[in-house]
Each structure stands twice: as structure tokens, then as C-alpha cells.
Structure 1
Amino acid sequence: MTTPTATGSTWTFDAIGTSWAIETASPLPSIARDAVSAVIERFDREWSRFRDDSLVSALADGRAASVPAPGDADAMLSLYDELDTATAGAVNPLVGDALARLGYDARLTLAPWGDPEPAPAWRDTLSFRDGRLSVTRPATIDVGALGKGRLVDLVLGTVREHVDGDLVVDASGDLAARGEPLRVALEHPYDTTRAIGVATVTDAALCASAINRRAWGDNLHHVLDARTGAPVRAFAATWALADTAMRADALATALFFDGGPELAASWNAHWVRMHTDGRVEWSPGFDGEIFA
């Protein structure tokens, strides 16, 4: 939840299954809105496992073993490599089939059809070279660990080509801000009317992840340990502050596992996370306040 700007304009819309709000000092011209829509459509058409015509769906259902590599492939897969190493394999871009087994599939049936299974070893299955994204066998890429953050960065860059001044791009919990410091409430994962604290975002990004946001069935949710294919149980919510939204989003995922805090320290990033028993911990130097 962001603090609304005192003056300016807010453009709200829905895209990639979530709500967006772009706050600017002056109304966005139509050319800027069209450019933002084009960036989001391109990203979704390439990376969404929820649409049949995407590149990753072609790799998942066997229609193709190789597709033209999206422009984001190098940046995102390189960051996945860091996440994989930091979390000892808990974060993996081929977790899509494991999510589908538990009901979080392309049709959002939310009906599990099998027991949890580990994701395949992605470095042996997925490759990116010579401008092609390839798999050795059908496999479902899911970039949920950092993809929305990447898209927030792309939208931010697009908007900045058209307007000056203070700017906030907020994609329902993943946001980037430029200009005046922004105070953001950290929503309590067990009571969305409350906050556990407040973070100050200054020319940076804040991303959050919580097990209550996409949850269904018998204690099932979208944050899986790729090594087991089962939902994580130790933490209920995470927040990460970093220089880019993609890094903040990646850290919000990594913080559900051992190795997340160490990765954040190596990036000079800050974080907060809540255990499922209600205990809260945060990084040294966190710019904000945690309520007692």
C-alpha cells in the first residue's frame, strides 16, 4: 500500500492478472500509455505460462524445442543462476510443472492432480545461446520469482521516456519509485487491514511476497521449494528493497529460504521477513520501522 501523491495523476489498469497503478506528476499522454501497454503485452506473450500463444507455452507442450530468445532472457536467467546458487537449488525457473501438479496451472483449476514433485535440474534442461531459448524435453518455465519485478522495471523505463518528475510504478506489491521518498506499509499476511511496519523507498524498488496472496486448497500456495515441489512452511511473508524491482522481486523469493539474507547482503539490499509463527526479522540498516 503506497501513500498517494498530494498532486499529480494516477493511471490504474489490470494486466498480467494483477492491478497496476502508475503515479506521475502530470497525466500520462496517450503515446506513453500505448507504449506501456505494448511493453506489457510483449512480455506477457513471451513469458506467460497462462496463455497458449506464449513462447514458454510452446516449450511446455512440446510444440517447439527451441524458440527465439526474448530480450529479457539473458538478464532473467543470469539472475536465476544467482538465486539457484544462493538457495542451494530451492529457486528454479522450471518450477512451472510442479506448480501445475498442485493446481496452479494454466487454467487456474486450483485442483491438485498429483503429489509434489521436484522441478527438473534446469541447467541440464534449459539453455540460452545463439539467440535461442531451448529445452531438451518439454518443460514449463515459470519466471514468477522475478518476472513481475522485471516488468515493473521495463514499465518504469518506458514511462520515464515520456514524463519527468516523481514517479511510482506499483504492480500490487511490487513497486519502483523515483523522486520524493515514498512510505509504504508492509501488509500483515494474516490480516490485510493491518501492517507490520513501514518501509521508506527512495529511488529504489520494494517487492513483497506472501503465502496468503495465491493460496488454495489444503495449505497450498505459490511459493514452492523446487527441490521438493512442495510449498514452503517456515515463512509467511517477505519484503525486499533493492536498486531494481527485478532484484527486489528475486530477493523476496530467495528470503523464503536459507541463503536469501546472504544474497541480499552481497547486493547491499535490505529486507524484512515474517515467520509463520509471527516472528519478524529484518536486515541491519533497514530504512523503515517495524511495529512491536
Structure 2
Amino acid sequence: MGHSFSFEAIGTAWRVDSAAPLLAAQKAGLLRIAEDYDALYSRFRADSGITELAASGGSLSLPGHGARLGRLLRTLHDVTGGGVSPLVGERLADQGYDAGYSFVPTAAPAPARAWDGLLEWTEDGVSLAAPALLDVGAAGKGQLVDLMLEYLLAAGHGQAVVDASGDMRRAGSGSITVALEHPYDPSSAIGTVVLTEGALCASASNRRVWGDGLHHVLDARTGHCVDTVVATWVLAADAMTADGLCTALFVTDPADLAGSFDFDFVLMYSDGRARYSAPLAGALFS
């Protein structure tokens, strides 16, 4: 693909590659999609919908794609026994990953509050019975990748890749080879995968680290940082699902997810061992 558009959004670097050049209006459209999403879901913005819910509870109307996100998060919550939950937001903030990026814990780790009775996520939006800080980071970036690719496809760009710093989705003929970055050495890789059409997402607990063993991947059942798995990669049809499964693999066994999702995976444990689905057996370097 001969044309690229790079930009910053939701706190990370993005790159869109396309066979045909993007029009100025299409570039603006991508930026608008990112801004609208951030204005809904960012817990780091004082003016976002999520921040308003955290202050007062009540309801937040969401566009149609909000229902898709809610269904995925509920499924992940149920399949992991509550290990993945949007209600982990206040526990992340308690540990220092707050709106001001203080990185100073203010409370001991504790389980996220229970979904049922507090959070209702419907086709129309989100309702909270009491103020609570939500966090959709389990799958939100992946969904934003999907929304951008869907926008490009609707605009006639049938050959395109949307890459949000390693969380990507590709459409069109051919394939690309993607390195799986070593979680302890960004200059090296543990293997490569070939991406044709579909999504590849990755998550690593060392991406955001502070304090003594603190990072951004919490088990919502305990409020503690996960210390057994250090990195996950998932291939799936769409980026929202791949992103969500990357998160879920930190807190549950791949077999627990296989009954609900179609995906391939690689995960790396803190002792250096790797585990992978059969189709990716040749992806890792020996």
C-alpha cells in the first residue's frame, strides 16, 4: 500500500495505510471518529461522558456501536467470572492510573464492584445506579480501529490497514507480516504472524508500569495486577474482539474463551514460557 496517514489519538500513535490516497475530508473524518469516541469513553478527560457518569451516576446515551461494545464486555465479564469488567476503572485510579496520571496508589487493591445491580448496558446506552468510574480499555481501542476501517471501506478504500500502535485491522487482498514484539525488549521479536484480512491485537503488562510491581492490567476479581501473564496476542475477525480477548487472556485460560469466540492466540508467561493455538505453532522463533 503506497499511501500513509499518521496521527495521534486517544493517547497513542496511529497509522492508516491505503492503496489510494485519502482525501482531506476522509482524513478529517478519521480524526472526528477518534474525537467522538474519546469524548464518550475517556476517563482521562474532564468533559467526557464517562467522567460525568463517575460524578453523578445516571444514564449516558451511546451511538449504535456502543451496544456492540457492551455486549462484548458483558460476555468477557461472564466468561472470565468477572475478571474483565468495565467497573475496574475506579480500581485502576486507586492504584495511581488516574485522570491526572499521578501513579501514586491511594488505596489497597480491592475487587471491582459487581456489575449486576449497578451497571446496565443496553442497546441505547449505559446506566449506573450510583456513581462509578468505568474503563473500556479492555476493548475500546480495538473498536476504534474497527470504526475507522469501516469508515474507510464505506468511502471506497477496499485495500487498507488501520494500525493503532500494534492493534490493527486489515482489509483487501494480499497479506502483511507482523512482528510480535518481545515484552522485555522492544527492539526484538518472539515471532511473526501473517495477517491477511482481519485483526491482530496485542497487550503487554509492561506498557504502563509504575511503583513496585504496579501496571495497568488488573484482575477485576481481586484488584491486583496480573503477574503470571506478561503479554498476549490475538488474531480475530475484528479488532474489538481481538483487543478484548487480549485482555481476557491475562485472567483466564484460552480454553474458557474458545466456546464463545473464534480466535488464535499467543501468550507469554512471566517465566518466559509461551503458549499458542495450533495454527500459530510456527509463528514463534525457536
Alignment TM-score > 0.5, same fold:
yes
Deviation of 1:68 (Å): 1.9
Structure 1 residues 201 and 261: CA distance shift in structure 2, 3 A: farther
Q: Distance in 1 between matches of 2:90 and 2:251?
A: 20
Counterpart secondary structure, 2:116:
helix
Structure 1 residues 106 and 199: CA distance shift in structure 2, 3 A: same
Contact 1:49–1:141 (8 Å) recurs in 2:
yes
Instruction: Give the counterpart of 2:108 among 92, 112, 115.
Output: 115
Contact 2:96–2:103 (8 Å) recurs in 1:
yes
Contact 1:145–1:249 (8 Å) recurs in 2:
yes
Q: Distance in 2 between matches of 1:129 and 1:266?
A: 20
**Unaligned residue ranges in structure 2 (runs of 5+):** none
Instruction: Give the counterpart of 1:61 among 49, 55, 62.
Output: 55
Counterpart secondary structure, 1:290:
coil
1:11 matched residue in structure 2? 5
Structure 1 residues 268 and 66: CA distance shift in structure 2, 3 A: closer
Instruction: Give the counterpart of 1:283 among 246, 261, 277.
Output: 277
Instruction: State the AA in 2 paired with 1:101.
Output: D
4+ long deviations beyond 4 Å: none
Deviation of 1:206 (Å): 0.3
Q: Distance in 1 between matches of 2:114 and 2:228?
A: 24
CA-atom RMSD in angstroms: 1.5
Structure 1 residues 128 and 165: CA distance shift in structure 2, 3 A: closer
Instruction: Give the counterpart of 2:202 among 200, 208, 213.
Output: 208
Q: Distance in 2 between matches of 1:260 and 1:50?
A: 31
Q: Please say if 1:97 is aligned against 2:82.
A: no
Q: Distance in 2 between matches of 1:131 and 1:86?
A: 23
How far does the alpha carbon of each residue in 1:246-273 deviate from its partner, in whole angstroms, 9 at most, with x for none?
A: 0000110111122434314642210000
Instruction: State the AA in 2 paired with 1:141.
Output: L
Q: Distance in 1 between matches of 2:272 and 2:281?
A: 21
Deviation of 1:88 (Å): 1.3
2:73 matched residue in structure 1? 80
Q: Distance in 1 between matches of 2:85 and 2:278?
A: 28
Counterpart mapping for 1:14-25 below 5 A: 14-25=8-19
Counterpart secondary structure, 1:152:
helix
Deviation of 1:287 (Å): 7.5
Number of positions where the alignment pairs a residue of Structure 1 with one of Structure 2? 285
Q: Distance in 2 between matches of 1:238 and 1:204?
A: 17
Q: Distance in 1 between matches of 2:110 and 2:55?
A: 18
Identity of aligned residues (%): 45
Q: Distance in 1 between matches of 2:125 and 2:229?
A: 37
* TM-score, normalised via structure 1 length: 0.93
